Amino acid sequence: MTLHATVDRVTDRIRERSTKSRTAYEAKIARAAEDGPRRAHLSCGNQAHAYAAMPDKADLATTRKPNIGIVTAYNDMLSAHQPYEHYPDIIRRAAHAAGATAQVAGGVPAMCDGVTQGRPGMELSLFSRDVIALAAGVALSHDTFDSALYLGVCDKIVPGLIIAAATFGHIPAVFVPAGPMPSGLPNDEKSKVRQQFATGEVGREALMAAEMASYHSPGTCTFYGTANSNQMLMEFMGLHLPGSSFVNPNTPLREALTSAAVQRAASITRLGNDYLPAGEVLDERAFVNGIVGLMATGGSTNLILHLPAMARAAGVLLDLEDFHDLSECVPLMARVYPNGLADVNHFHAAGGLGFMIGQLIESGLLHADARTIAGGGLDQYAQEPKLRDGQVHWVEGARESLNDKILRPVADAFAPIGGLKQLVGNLGRGVIKVSAVAADRHIIEAPARVFSDQEEVKAAFKRGEFTEDTVVVVRFQGPSANGMPELHSLTPTLAVLQDRGLRVALVTDGRMSGASGKVPAAIHISPEAAHGGPLARVQDGDVIRLDATNGTLECLANDFATRVPASFDPETSSEGMGRELFRAFRAHVSPATEGAALVV
């Protein structure tokens, strides 16, 4: 199938934009790989330290067996990462069976935005991505690994691990998922209880019961937020084994897929004839494929921040215009909560990523020739795994949707575009996700109410101050101000106002999340207000026009350009809950348009 003209054009634009940085990156990883397996160059003392605790230390010291490094985000507080507890044992057994060895190289922190929503700890969330990259870098710095397995799922964990994998791009990388928890209380029912709690219709006991029935077991949360968008991304970018993203934890197929990932990691090292360094997988085609997947599934807006940072680590430079242009040509093929009633288990059962990738390849919307850890092109990812006699076999995946209320072909998609729009105007540059927003709310023009904190919005709501159409402006929420926390805890409040018949929208230099839904939200506005960006000049009563149809965001006040911007007090987020430790991050972070990163 001929590549779609827009996909071709955007890829060429990225390739041209990245010529200098990508060439330097490729030269760097070639230099790192040229001496062969680095372990052979360690002194005897270095090696003895590295192998001292290994039961098969003789294999490491005297043979050329591949040694696989495990970088794990395991902890048993987060449901998505708890299944990783026993993965090292599974991996070591599988490595031994494959004629290799494996060691846990190191751990990386994994925080949960679901726990920290609306709390001071959320101001560390985005920066945790860079910490994860740094921690993974420390783990791999021992220079004793021929390939690496990355165990991570959620919001900042996978992007941080990708940054590390790209930085150590001469080392083959296989990402190993843990899978979503089985379906619990439907997400729309949980959301309804949240709104009822916001209005005082139900008490905390009912809210807690609903939340516990929704988040109820090991595995990823089942709505299509950032965590599950990450898992989709790893398949579209060829870093998972095909069809492995949404297999539930603690099942025979899940364990068999983990063992198969180990076998693959052992086979693609420089010691064999199928060497596949991570840096060769992570080229411009992989990132374009990832963006296409994001649009086709209606994925998390957080990836609009993460993908540029991830790509930059591999010498690939992305811009918001790339997301916008690809969104305009990629149809929305899935309806998964919050963009529908189904969860990811229902999506997977309906045909899932295999069906979607097959459809997009046939329509010329993916680079089918992109390199993948499966060994061939992306067409292998139209297959699905089956368990036979304890071993994984891949068979042809679904060629028709098994539920067209959840998943549809390209020719009969839910919408002709992916639902992501770039916004440009005198308020700066940002994005809006409209895949779950009703068409009659793609344009909102209303007076502004300006806040500097999300708690101020909730307090105003409780006081009954929102009685007319309103654009809620929440500024000083950018990466330099306070780490760019998600403002997802505002979703129930804004949804209640919208359900009351008001036309409302959110405009912010902060983030929402993959769980943002039916309320129009112009997010990631850059330059941020803390740097004197345009949001710092907005005043209560200014008429704001958010036009997602034409991609504009404007303040209509006549004197807007000449106003003195409001000043930001950095002390508001300077200490408490570890924020003291991140002063250097806030001082040196890049703007949101470049990924809001420190390490790349």
Give me the amino acid identity at 399. R
Q: φ, ψ for residue 524 (rounded to 5)? A: 60, 30
Helix (H, G, I), strand (E, B) or coil at 81: coil
DSSP string, 450-494: EESSHHHHHHHHHTT---S-EEEEE-S-SHHHH---B-GGGHHHH
Give me the amino acid identity at 97. A
Q: What end-to-end distance do the CA atoms of the chain give, in Å?
A: 36
DSSP 8-state symbol, 511: B
DSSP 8-state symbol, 296: H
Show the low-confidence residues of the chain (pLDDT under 50): none
Is residue 50 within 8 A of residue 42, CB to CB? The reply is yes
Instruction: Write out the two tokens for 406.
Output: 């959840």
DSSP 8-state symbol, 336: B
Average pLDDT, the chain: 93
> What local confidence, expressed as pLDDT, does residue 38 receive?
65
Q: Would you call 2 exposed, middle or buried from its count of C-beta atoms within 10 A (0-12, 13-18, 19+)?
A: exposed
Is residue 345 within 8 A of residue 351, CB to CB? The reply is no
Distance of CA 583 to the CA centre of its chain: 24
The answer to whether 555 is a known ligand-binding residue is no
CA gap 225, 336 in Å, rounded: 9
Opening angle at CA 591, ends 581 and 129, nearest 5? 45
CA gap 390, 374 in Å, rounded: 19
Give the residue among 172, 170, 176 at the shortest CA–CA distance from 152: 176
Give the residue among 68, 77, 75 at the shortest CA–CA distance from 37: 68
Cα dist. 158→155, 262, 464 in Å? Answer: 7, 18, 41
Q: Other CB atoms closer than 10 Å to residue 204's CB: what's the count?
A: 8
Q: What pairs with residue 547 in β-bridges?
A: 443, 552
CA gap 440, 503 in Å, rounded: 10
Instruction: Write out the two tokens for 519.
Output: 């309320």
- Structural domain boundaries in the chain: 5-182+217-396, 420-594
Is residue 302 within 8 A of residue 310, CB to CB? The reply is no
CATH H-level, domain 420-594: superfamily: IlvD/EDD C-terminal domain-like (3.50.30.80)
Is residue 354 within 8 A of residue 402, CB to CB? The reply is no
Is residue 393 within 8 A of residue 333, CB to CB? The reply is no
Give me the amino acid identity at 1. M
Give the residue among 593, 493, 485 at the shortest CA–CA distance from 533: 593
Opening angle at CA 280, ends 256 and 139, nearest 5? 65
Is residue 111 within 8 A of residue 81, CB to CB? The reply is no
The answer to whether 154 is a known ligand-binding residue is yes
